[in-house]
Structure 1
């Protein structure tokens, strides 16, 4: 690695002059500046920006940890966060916890060691103790897709109880009465909230019932497996409406029902997902879903973090967006 001293020796100037060329070029005479820049180009010198920021106590890096980067919801959210961070001359480092507490903790360790300016996180479970540690070390945190009930840190989320309610209410108003909810473990707060909303909707109809089917994960393959189990019952034992905790599960269920069992959507059963990812509209049967403002969530999360970093807000803020029902062919 070429050092700043190597550049100074080759250009026959002091190390401080090279530093000024890099950081305060107006302080260096034009001919000297050109000579130093030519040497930098010849030697292929790359500045150690991380070390410089560490010495200065500054950072332009934001850490972002999501539950599953393969889920288009989180990849879209991350892209929006990157775009907003770039507008503030910041860079986002992305970590994928894969719903694993240990992996989440390792990313938090790395981000803290790298002295990031702040952390955005969609947590796997309870991270109260880690939040306290980060705050004690001066690292601002914003929760993404999760509310902090104690209001210690800012958060950006969606009212998932309302989303679950509107999804199932939509099917109930179309005459569906045997509803199945498919989602991963309710240890995931978003899944638990969507199930709560579904239960509230079913409670309004005395002749309606809700069956809960736990999927192995929040993926297409897990949805296909859950769909196959339901389809094995035959038409007489099927629910007439299925609400999936995200669109990936719903697409998997659709594959099982249509391609493997030859059932019809929505004639044999109605199907609705959650998130409104790009694949939802272009599915074999366009998927009804509950839309979340993904890009707005990503941008708002960064804005809340910048507020915390600059201390421009007197206290933490909990931004909760309302979901939107999107009806398509799978429930009509």
Structure 2
């Protein structure tokens, strides 16, 4: 991919400071005419084109950044949002949050709203196919950073977690403690993060021919849905139940544990359960939940910082930041 010429490149070519380049291009009346001519010549030779969104940031046209999250009821996304707000507050910006609520139509509505109010930039945690709406934002000069996922085309900067490694870690832990009949309870398969967690779990299971992995998909991954699934699993004959369960978030995982225990199934003696995200409640639940930790607040902060750099035209190529997961072992798997 060709590197985009930035204001630093112009400053280097002209032999002046970045602030001088900015003044010469935007407020030339206050700069020596010879310096203005030198800067403009350097900009022309390098093919430098100022980002419209960067110009908007300087004049504070809206003072807003847009951010979509999949489900704000999940504390992981609330932490992600808080981290982004921490990062952009230093630039005097505020975050307009759109909660997709596991709904493709709502997600698209939020992205269209960001376009209408001319946000300075957008942080997008995709649920459905957001490609056409992201393209529209970028066509208007609005920079976009993906959060909690990566762009396969390599065209967009992103901040994500290695979810394949996370899924492999979750299944590997259950296998290591002797579980052989595993179940994966997840949201829709089209959500990339979920799909990659399942891929990692399958990779771990493939190393152990005696281990099986069954998959159950559901429309929502709330605590209530988890509770219903836990009760349904508890109603099965003991020989038909899984002895290890992976859920795609802690919200659901805590619900599964509640559903099992309420029906008289012991956790972890009968069924071990591991969640994903390591939200605060996981550690203080009645049966503390083992989980795959995502550093949500730090991920949100890095995404916000990346977006500010993108708006300022200070990104060298497309930056993709990938965090690594961490296994957190608690009573729901080890007793």
Q: TM-score range by the shorter chain?
A: 0.7 to 0.9
Matches within 5 A, 1:91-240: 91-240=94-243
1:241 aligns with 2:244: yes
State the partner residue of 2:329. 327
| Contact 1:213 1:226 (C-alpha < 8 Å) held by counterparts | no
Q: 1:148-199 deviations in whole A, cap 9, x for unaligned?
A: 0111111100011100000010010111100001111111111111111110
Answer with 298-307 or 103-112: which moved more.
103-112
State the alpha-carbon separation in 1 of the partners of residues 184 and 112 from structure 2: 36
Tell me how far 1:314 sits from its aligned partner.
2.3
State the partner residue of 1:288. 290
Tell me how far 1:57 sits from its aligned partner.
6.6
Q: Which runs of 5+ in 2 are unaligned?
A: 1-55
State the partner residue of 1:312. 314
| Contact 1:54 1:115 (C-alpha < 8 Å) held by counterparts | no
Answer with 99-108 or 179-188: which moved more.
99-108
Q: 1:68-112 deviations in whole A, cap 9, x for unaligned?
A: 011000011111111111122111111101122221111112111
Secondary structure class of the residue paired with 2:292: strand
Higher relative contact order (CA 8 A, sep 6+): 2
Answer with 80-89 or 173-182: which moved more.
80-89
Number of equivalenced pairs: 279
1:278 aligns with 2:280: yes
Tell me how far 1:55 sits from its aligned partner.
12
- RMSD (Å), alpha carbons: 1.5
Tell me how far 1:56 sits from its aligned partner.
5.0
- Check 1:211–1:309 CA distance in 2 against 1; reply closer, same or farther (3 A cut): same
- Check 1:140–1:54 CA distance in 2 against 1; reply closer, same or farther (3 A cut): closer
Tell me how far 1:61 sits from its aligned partner.
1.0
State the alpha-carbon separation in 2 of the partners of residues 223 and 208 from structure 1: 23
Secondary structure class of the residue paired with 2:314: coil
Q: Alignment partner for residue 264 of structure 2, among 262, 265, 269? A: 262
Q: 1:186-223 deviations in whole A, cap 9, x for unaligned?
A: 11111111111110010000100001112231101111
State the alpha-carbon separation in 1 of the partners of residues 169 and 323 from structure 2: 14
1:66 aligns with 2:69: yes
| Contact 2:277 2:293 (C-alpha < 8 Å) held by counterparts | yes
- Check 1:54–1:245 CA distance in 2 against 1; reply closer, same or farther (3 A cut): closer
Tell me how far 1:127 sits from its aligned partner.
1.8
